[in-house]
Amino acid sequence: MKTKKNILKSNAFQTILSSLLCILFGVIICYIVLLCINPAGANEAMTTILQNFLSASKANLRLKNFGSTLVKTAPLIMCGLSIQFCYKTGLFNIGAAGQYVVGAGISLYAALAWHLPWFVCLLLATVVGAVWGAIVGFLKAYRNVNEVISGIMLNWIGLYLVNMLTGNVKESTSPYTIPIKSESPQSLLPSLGLENLFGGNKYVGIAVPLAIIIAIVIYIIQQRTTLGYVLIATGYNKDAAKYAGMKGSKNIIITLIIGGALAGMGAGMYYLTGMEQWTTTSSSVPDMGFNGIAATFLGGLNPIGTVFAAYFIEHITLGGSKINLNVYPSQIADLMSAIIIYLCGFTLFFKYCINSYLRNKEERAARATVEVTKDDKAKEGGEGK
Amino acid sequence: MIPLIQYTLLFTSVLTLVALGGCYAEHSGVINLGLEGMMVMGAFGGALALKSFNASFASGSVPAVVVVLAAVICSMLSGMLYSCLLGVACINFKADQTLVGTALNMLATAVATIIAKTMNTIADPDNVSATISYVNAKKALLVYFGKFEFNWFMLIAVIALIIAYVVLYKTRFGLRLMACGEHPQAADSVGISVNRMRWSGVLISGMFGGLGGIVYITAGVSEWKFEYGVAGFGFLSLAVMIFGQWKPHLIAASAILFGLFRALSNVYTGFDFLKELNLPSTFYNMLPYIISLIVLAFTSMNSRAPKAEGIPYDKSAR
């Protein structure tokens, strides 16, 4: 009698295993691509990507680079959560990229033009992101517009609007917005002394801990509250949820408002650190929102998993920018995350393989036991005679 | 006025071709959100073909028709090849079509940029851009009627439209394809192979997506930076398809509307009354996206999408 549960059977373990498989295949394919471009430096380039900050020579620099990776992880966690939250309700929030863009625009404008304190800027980013998400929600709930298409349209509209808006607060000689530090220091996110932990990297602040706390809050909402239950039920079966008295339209809008708020806030968390200025002539939507999709699916559609996956993706993205750019294009890391997202589509298949392997094994074991008991019975019968 | 008509026709051709591609895939039951990526890959294949004719066409040793055919065939093939990734994942492995489509869009830009950069660097070690230029070969695509630049792709789009109409409504293949998007179980029960039909839908959509890609990047410019992808045009085409109610002739009509607004952003400076409005150029860039949102808001309510689209076919659900 085996009472010990096979670890392979647990859903969480299977999810982690299939995510790791996605990463493994992604790395292998990228390595092959590197080999094709230039075999001589492929090993070195791959180690650089995977090591990221660990490849720096000095301990202080390593900490500093680790800090930078974390600063970029915070907005990715938020975008990932935005997509995760919506996906659980059965909505694919590809508009997270646009919600992120408008959040970035308003937080920079509030900081540079109105000189507002950081929490007001962050709040504005959240609210504007939520409004952007709400548009998608309204169109979906009341006008039956596919959320993916309206999301993409709003991404581009948002990008051009933000370019227009930030055009008022740009440096006179460059297309970049004015650095927040010189114009309005009270708008920078406080660091709470965290910078000292990361070799004096002044961009590290409350963003990362805040993003992690929000991930935990989202987890609790989804697992332990009525709202989360209703939303997830809607995601499983819209019609059944409606039959059970849950309001479909309202749930769609609420979900996208929360999703938009998360993405918008993520943008505030990044641009209010002053690490990057907005390019007012941007002609493409920032990758952050799309990488959020990778983070969500790699994280096994779980808020806590998203945190780790987001870190991994930023880790390889920043690692990708450190390779020898004269030999290899910087898009290798993009390639790797795109392949990983693609492979995430096969997660179901991976799980199916694991389960059918287990089933086969069990059946074989069961057959063996049946035969053993038969023998025993035969023996017993023989003895009885 | 002539430039406006010319650009409208060009962008209409792009939208028609790509939307027809989407239309085939959706009628077979697969939502192809990766059209954008297929456009990028098609554009890339076509641009390479054009680039290879840059010198020989300029010197007159190759006739224009060869250049046009090469561009068309290469773009179609690369689009088709790329769509196999969608087919394998969504038809054979029953993956989430939205997720895979999105991944393909990201993958295409990365792949095209990486290959373009590598090729440029090999040709000239100082060149790390992802730009492919086809200045001379592009002239093969054009025929001048007075001031009007006729582009062969406009004709190809019309032909594709007629073929699509005939194939979808008048042939056995087309009707079977549509049956698989409406009720695959019923189609299967009368002996139609659903997977094979869906594969055909996906491959045809990749073919048209790729063709649309090369038309898009040769409209008005003679070099392309592959980092930029195709700026949401694949998704605009999906909007055109929805507005066109998944019917080829209506798709063409709605493509003209969207094409007009897209063309305005290229040529609005040529109109005095638009210039006097003094709107920033960004406004005209936004216009097609805003219009498509409004149009979708008014047309999606009664949309007649293929019933089984987006649902992986499961034989046991019969």
Cβ pair A143:B280 closer than 8 A: no
| Region for A116 from its dihedrals, namely left if φ exceeds 0, alpha if ψ lies in -120 to 50, beta otherwise | beta
Please provide the DSSP assignment of B248-317 as one string. HHHHHHHHHHHHHHHHHHHHGGG-HHHHHHT--HHHHHHHHHHHHHHHHHHHGGG----TTTTSPP-GGG
pLDDT at A242: 83
Q: Is the pLDDT of residue A65 over 70?
A: yes
Strand spans (E) along B46-183: 131-133, 142-145, 148-151
Please state, in angstroms and rounded to a whole number, the distance separating the CA atoms of residues A103 and A122.
8
Q: How far is B41 from chain A (nearest CA, A)?
A: 14
Q: What is the DSSP letter of A385?
A: -
Q: Is the pLDDT of residue A303 over 70?
A: yes
**Chain B CB contacts of A337 below 8 Å:** 106
Interface test with B, best of A31, A136, A144, A328 (most B CBs within 10 A): A144
Q: Is the pLDDT of residue A5 over 70?
A: no
Asked whether residue B21 is assigned to any structural domain, the reply reads: yes
The more confident residue out of A99 and A355 is A99
Q: Measured between alpha carbons, how far apart are the two ends of chain B, in Å?
A: 57
Q: Is the pLDDT of residue A1 over 50?
A: no
Number of domains making up chain B: 1
Asked whether residue B189 is assigned to any structural domain, the reply reads: yes
Q: How far is A143 from chain B (nearest CA, A)?
A: 5
Asked whether residue B64 is assigned to any structural domain, the reply reads: yes
Tokens of A51: 């090591």
pLDDT at A2: 47
Asked whether residue A354 is assigned to any structural domain, the reply reads: yes
Can you tell me which residue has the tokens 């007159």?
A: B60
pLDDT at A14: 85
Closest-approach residue (CA) in chain A for B105: A338
- Which secondary structure element, helix H or strand E, spans residue B237, and what is its range? helix B233-243
What average pLDDT does this structure show over B148-169?
Answer: 92
Number of domains making up chain A: 1
Asked whether residue A375 is assigned to any structural domain, the reply reads: no
What average pLDDT does this structure show over A260-275?
Answer: 94
Cβ pair A325:B298 closer than 8 A: no
Asked whether residue A121 is assigned to any structural domain, the reply reads: yes
Nearest CB among B96, B282, B298 relative to A345 is that of: B96
pLDDT band at A15 (very low <50, low <70, confident <90, very high): confident
- Spatial contact of B89 and B95, defined as CB atoms under 8 Å apart: yes
Cβ pair B289:A156 closer than 8 A: yes
pLDDT at A381: 57
Cβ pair A144:B300 closer than 8 A: yes
CATH of the domain at A62: 1.10.3470
Q: Is the pLDDT of residue B143 over 60?
A: yes
What average pLDDT does this structure show over B84-112?
Answer: 91
Asked whether residue B236 is assigned to any structural domain, the reply reads: no
pLDDT at A380: 63
Which range has the worst mean pLDDT, A357-366, B34-43, B83-92? Answer: A357-366
Residues A73-101 have pLDDT tens digits of 999 999 999 999 999 998 989 899 999 99
Q: How far is B131 from chain A (nearest CA, A)?
A: 13
User: In terms of residue numbers, what domain contains B28?
Assistant: 12-150+157-230
Asked whether residue B51 is assigned to any structural domain, the reply reads: yes
pLDDT at A366: 86
What average pLDDT does this structure show over B217-230?
Answer: 85
What average pLDDT does this structure show over A3-24?
Answer: 79
User: In terms of residue numbers, what domain contains A105?
Assistant: 7-367
Could you give the ipTM of this predicted complex? 0.88
Cβ pair A293:B130 closer than 8 A: no
Asked whether residue A134 is assigned to any structural domain, the reply reads: yes
- Spatial contact of A306 and A293, defined as CB atoms under 8 Å apart: no
Q: Is the pLDDT of residue B197 over 90?
A: yes
- Which secondary structure element, helix H or strand E, spans residue B224, and what is its range? strand B223-225
Cβ pair A342:B103 closer than 8 A: yes
Asked whether residue B63 is assigned to any structural domain, the reply reads: yes
Q: Is the pLDDT of residue B45 over 90?
A: yes
Nearest CB among B99, B117, B121 relative to A345 is that of: B99
pLDDT at A70: 92
- Spatial contact of A101 and A118, defined as CB atoms under 8 Å apart: no
Cβ pair B292:A161 closer than 8 A: no
pLDDT at B40: 95
Interface test with A, best of B91, B98, B120, B278 (most A CBs within 10 A): B98
pLDDT at B73: 95
Which range has the worst mean pLDDT, A111-120, A187-196, A249-258, B200-209? Answer: A187-196
Residues B260-305 have pLDDT tens digits of 988 888 888 777 777 777 778 888 888 888 988 998 898 888 777 8
Please state, in angstroms and rounded to a whole number, the distance separating the CA atoms of residues B299 and A145.
8
Please state, in angstroms and rounded to a whole number, the distance separating the CA atoms of residues B34 and A234.
26
Cβ pair A329:B128 closer than 8 A: yes
Q: Is the pLDDT of residue A220 over 60?
A: yes
Q: Which residues pair with B143 in a beta bridge?
A: B150
Q: Is the pLDDT of residue A208 over 60?
A: yes
Q: What is the rounded average pLDDT for all residues in chain B?
A: 89
pLDDT band at A384 (very low <50, low <70, confident <90, very high): very low
Asked whether residue A170 is assigned to any structural domain, the reply reads: yes
pTM: 0.88
Q: What is the DSSP letter of A279?
A: B
Q: From the CA atom positions of chain A, what is the Rg in Å?
A: 25
Asked whether residue A378 is assigned to any structural domain, the reply reads: no
The more confident residue out of B31 and B317 is B31
Listed in sequence order, the residues at least 6 apart from A210 whose beta carbon sits closer than 8 Å to its beta carbon are A74, A269
- Spatial contact of A304 and A256, defined as CB atoms under 8 Å apart: no
In percent, the amount of chain A with pLDDT more than 70 equals 96
Residues written for chain B: 318
Q: Is the pLDDT of residue A325 over 80?
A: no
Its sign, for the CA torsion A23, A28, A34, A37, is negative
Asked whether residue B291 is assigned to any structural domain, the reply reads: no
In percent, the amount of chain A with pLDDT more than 90 equals 38
pLDDT at A379: 66
Q: How far is B143 from chain A (nearest CA, A)?
A: 31
Cβ pair B106:A284 closer than 8 A: no
| CB count in 10 Å sphere of residue A362 | 12
Q: Is the pLDDT of residue A385 over 50?
A: no
Asked whether residue A98 is assigned to any structural domain, the reply reads: yes
Question: Which spans in A167-298 are helix H?
Answer: 180-183, 194-197, 207-224, 226-236, 238-243, 248-271, 288-298
